Structure 1
Amino acid sequence: MRVVVQGGGRRRRRPGLAGVLWGAAELTVTVGVVVLLLVVHQVWWTNRQALAAAHEQVRELERDWAGSAGSSPAPELLTPSSSSPPSSSSPSSSHPVSSSSSASPSASAERSAPPARESAYGVLRIPRIGVVVPIAQGVDKRAVLDRGYVGHYPGTAQPGAEGNFALAGHRNTHGEPFRYINRLRAGDELTVEVRGQRYTYEVGKVLAETSERDTGVIAPVPRSTVRPEYGYGEPGAYITLTTCTPEYTSRYRLVVWGTLKR
């Protein structure tokens, strides 16, 4: 009696086309997993790292100022309130434009020498959207913006001085300090602190979209060269916040302007 054993021997090879398709599917899944991990690193991990480092830099600045004053302790670091929008992440998009008691503009502010390049020297607070972020000199992406800081445009005024104190910041990833500046409205306050001296600005105007080459928005008297109906016509002490728009892109620029409260 013969016993027939089934299933023995070598497995049959997949047909040529089916094997190619199977291999392509495996490669696609592998590439997809790698890309997903890279995206998670870019939009979540780097965001957490930059935000934590930026908050620590704020604390360090406040400790230094408190030590220099030798009196009152540093102000408590603000954190986003429960009503603040949740922080979501996205590909980086914040290239700069190409190229308490309020203080009035002072001669000392106007004469002060600019800080060392790419060093943090001030703190910007935007209570409405829960932002507390270091201000650094320069708008270099790697050295300043990617560290979760906002950057001071070289050649623009210093805080509290006549002219335009202009800042750039990321809207997405790397701490995304300017993620929600589109929610600012006229009358909202922005404060800038440098060595214990605090300057309070009041939001006046918002330009929802303009070209990245619209250098008029950071001029001493800020006025859009692309949309001239937006801006100011008289000298004063201004603050300008710039970031990219729409979100997830760097195609246009979003601009918020404020004036120093006297």
Structure 2
Amino acid sequence: MRVRGTVRRRVPPGARSTRPALRLRLLRPTLRFRQSRLLRQFHPTRRPRLLRQSRPARPPRQTRLLRQPRPARPPRRSRPPLPRGGAARLLARGLWGAAELVVTLGLVLLLLVAHQLWWTNREARAEAGRTVQSLQREWDEAPAAEDTAPDGSPRPSGTGRAPAPSPAAIAPPDPATGPPPARAAPRWDQAYAVLRIPRIGLTAPVAEGVSKGGVLDRGYVGHYTRTAQAGRAGNFALAGHRNTHGEPFRRIDRLRRGDRITVETRDAVYTYTVGKSLARTEPSDSGVIAPVPRSNVTPSVGYSAPGYYLTLTTCTPEFSSRFRLVVWAELTAMRPR
């Protein structure tokens, strides 16, 4: 479209026109002149301020935050310089090998403790229980001493066992005469009797001898070979472990005066009653198992007259064999099986 001889171009919507900016640039000197003229006219003493070209606002600068100072670290300990190369490898291997050795030794020690405190008790108690059952079956099946003739053959009468004993037979035998003759002495390491102590709940087989491998370590109670047999005049002396390998005598320190102890053999059952005890004595004190037991270390403890005695000996204190604990009992009753 033409207006007064000029040509105007249509500006598409959304497009910016450069004409206002161009006009502002052209008129800027004129505006500055008029502004200064007006200021001189109305304010002759005031210095005119010229219009300044507006600048686009700058984006705010990103200020860096000041970090808080860290606390001072303590000085590190000076370490000796490590050797270089092959020496360092050898040192590292040596330390690693030493650590493995220490761990291995610790595990082995732990296994040994478990074996001594748990496994040996388990195995010894199981074997002792089987031995007691075997003795009971053997005694029940074998003929009694009263049912056999002097030559060893069964008696012709079919009455079986002897009649029940009279009250006089239950009393302890006279030390002067003694009970009837006993059977032949048992073989070494042979179990031939059963010891029962109701006070501590003990039932254990009694074997001939006090060897560790053949008797004590199997959970048995060992009989001192040079002492009397059960029910005989003198001292029937026994020994047993207090810890490990079945530990049959672990709680004999709880026995009190008047407690009963029974010893059962093929022919009879002997009942002993606890009378005295010795809390600690030396292992070399042989007087405690003498025919008339009396301590050589503490002479005031023991007996002075002959009789039918039972002696129990074991180690003390627990887990140590430094001293010996002794319990004495006297025969108070006996009866045939």
- Pairwise TM-score range, normalised by the shorter structure: 0.7 to 0.9
Which letter does structure 2 place at the counterpart of 1:243? T
TM-score, length-scaled by structure 2: 0.62
- Cα shift at 1:20: 3.3
Q: Does 1:68 align with 2:139?
A: no
Residue matched to 1:157: 228
CA distance in 1, matches of 2:179, 2:328: 23
Contact 1:103 1:160 in 2 (8 A): no
Partner in structure 2 of residue 58 of structure 1: 132
Using the aligned pairs only, state the percent identity.
Answer: 60
Query: Which of 117, 135, 140 matches 2:211?
Result: 140
Query: Following the alignment from structure 1 to structure 2, what is the Cα–Cα distance between the partners of residues 150 and 202?
Result: 18
**AA at the equivalent of 2:195:** L
Give the aligned partner of residue 319 of structure 2: 248
For structure 1, the 5+ residue unaligned runs are: 1-11, 73-100
Check conservation: 1:102, 1:198, Cα contact below 8 A.
no
In structure 2, C-alpha distance between the alignment counterparts of 1:153 and 1:214, rounded to whole Å: 14
Q: Deviations over 1:45-84 (max 9, x none)?
A: 1110110100110010011111124879xxxxxxxxxxxx
Q: 1: CA distance between counterparts of 2:170 and 2:128?
A: 25
Partner of 1:104: 172
- Do 2:280 and 2:323's aligned partners in 1 also have CA atoms closer than 8 Å? yes
AA in 2 matched with 1:180: R
- Displacement after TM superposition at 1:15 (Å): 6.2
Work out whether 1:166 is the aligned partner of 2:234: no
1:250–1:159: structure 2 CA closer, same or farther, 3 Å change rule? same
**CA RMSD, 1 decimal:** 2.2
* One of 241, 255, 259 as aligned partner of 1:184: 255
Q: How does 1:164-243 map to 2 (within 5 A)?
A: 164-243=235-314
Q: In structure 2, give the amino acid aligned to 1:46.
A: T
CA distance in 1, matches of 2:321, 2:272: 27
Aligned with residue 96 of structure 2, among 19, 22, 36: 22
Note if contact 1:102-1:200 (Cα within 8 Å) is conserved in structure 2: no
Q: Could you list the runs of 4 or more consecutive aligned residues of structure 1 that deviate by over 6 angstroms after TM superposition?
A: none
User: SS at the partner of 2:142?
Assistant: helix
Larger Rg, first or second structure (1 or 2)? 2
In structure 1, what is the Cα distance between the partners aligned to 2:126 and 2:170?
Answer: 29
Match of 1:113 in 2: 184
Aligned match of 2:107 in 30, 33, 42?
A: 33
Match of 1:98 in 2: none
TM-score, reference length from structure 1: 0.79
Q: For the residues of structure 1 that align with 2:107 and 2:281, how far apart are their CA atoms?
A: 37
CA contact (8 A) 1:123 1:133 kept: yes
